[in-house]
Amino acid sequence: MSSLLDLRLVFVTGKGGVGKTTVASALALLASQRGKRVLICEVDGRGDVAGLYEAPPTGYQEREVLPGLFVMTMDTEASLREYLKLQLRIPVVGRIGPLAKAFDFVATAAPGVREILTVGKFCYQVRERQYDLVVVDAPASGHIIGQLAAPQAINELVKVGLIRSQTDWMLDILSDPARTGLVAVCTPEEMPVNETVELAGRVRTETTVALRGVVVNRVLPELFGRQEEAVFDALCSARPRRRLDGLVGEEAGTVLAAARLAVTMRRTRAAHLDRLRAGIDPAVPLFFLPYLFARSQGLRTTRQVATSLGEELGF
């Protein structure tokens, strides 16, 4: 199977709080470091992506924040305006005004319209070949299905009209596993794993997009092998601990207890990883990213994640 970075359009999704935006940003950074011209699009725009590159917030107009790496924030109204101009040849000067309201209304009433403008924009970028790779920091896993299934849903609802004719080439791009793929991010915890397994099933049955990988984020380090764990257990018993207290200070017991917490946490999480592996099609690879014991989020963290991701992808 070809590498993730050989795709033209990658949607990155995941349950809230698992580090979806960080992974998407790292993936885009990695691709740009490997010489590709990359666009990363933020859909639930709060400007987090630009922040992860230490760049000022971006808008609908893409901006190069690092060499070969462009960032944009999705804005459906701007996308509509562009769409009208490019596809329907309806020039729109300034704000759309009443049309925007009408659009808002129809988009709210008719599920899929907003989504198709979003997905349409990405497909358009792919078709125009201005970038080698478009990475989408997509909506959380609860909402991604609606977005990816939108062209098909529109096909079912809208029988004629220009939108209908637009959805065909979008579906072509979205359904092509050589060009488009979905990456799910999760952490080795109960709910994220449940949601990822469920997502994998729904992606297969409700969309035409291929799940190309699951990134397991924040994997805790394994502290001990089996022999070492026996030694650790022995160290925690009363006599050695008292001796240790005497040698390095009163809090040796606390330090040992902290390690015990880390070991248990890792073990609980390992069980969830087994469940994840069992619940996902064996052909879909899992990529593991270590828990980062870092001070904060920012370009340094994004680089570290990109490096780990590169190792997992075999670079």
- Which 181-210 positions form the footprint of another protein (CB under 8 A)? 189-192, 194
The pair of three-digit structure tokens given for residue 260, joined into one six-digit string: 């015990």
Q: In what order do the strands lie in the sheet with 38-42?
A: 63-66, 69-73, 38-42, 133-137, 9-14, 180-186, 211-219, 286-290
- Minimum distance of another protein from residue 28's CB (angstroms): 18
How far is residue 261's CA from residue 266's CA, in Å, rounded to a whole number? 9
Task: Choose which of 1, 86, 178, 258 interacts with another protein (CB under 8 A).
Answer: 258
Task: Rank residues 178 and 234 by Cβ distance to another protein and give the closer one.
Answer: 234
Task: Choose which of 37, 75, 82, 111 interacts with another protein (CB under 8 A).
Answer: 111
94 near another protein, rule: CB under 8 A: no
- Minimum distance of another protein from residue 277's CB (angstroms): 18
Task: Choose which of 90, 168, 178, 311 interacts with another protein (CB under 8 A).
Answer: 90
Task: Rank residues 15 and 121 by Cβ distance to another protein and give the closer one.
Answer: 15
In the region spanning residues 47 to 66, those forming contacts with another protein, defined by CB under 8 A, are 48
How far is residue 203's CA from residue 35's CA, in Å, rounded to a whole number? 31
SS3 string, 246-300, reads HHHCCCHHHHHHHHHHHHHHHHHHHHHHHHHHHHCCCCCCEEEEECCCCCCCCHH
Planar angle of CA 200, 111, 103, nearest 5 degrees: 140
129 near another protein, rule: CB under 8 A: no
164 near another protein, rule: CB under 8 A: yes
In the region spanning residues 10 to 39, those forming contacts with another protein, defined by CB under 8 A, are 15-18, 21
Classify residue 47 by burial, with Cβ atoms within 10 Å: 0-12, 13-18, 19+.
middle
Task: Choose which of 34, 36, 37, 44 interacts with another protein (CB under 8 A).
Answer: 44
- Minimum distance of another protein from residue 8's CB (angstroms): 26
- Minimum distance of another protein from residue 13's CB (angstroms): 12
Judge contact between 2 and 279, C-beta under 8 A. no
Quick one: which segment of 34-42, 124-132, 290-298, 307-315 binds another protein (CB under 8 A)? Answer: 290-298
The pair of three-digit structure tokens given for residue 85, joined into one six-digit string: 């101009």
286 near another protein, rule: CB under 8 A: no
Q: What phi and psi, each to the nearest 5 degrees, are found at residue 137?
A: -80, 85
Task: Choose which of 9, 153, 185, 309 interacts with another protein (CB under 8 A).
Answer: 153
Q: How many other C-beta atoms can be found within 10 angstroms of the C-beta atom of residue 293?
A: 7
Helix, strand, or coil (residue 169): helix
Site map (CB under 8 A) of another protein, residues 211-230, x = contact: ----------x-xx--xx-x
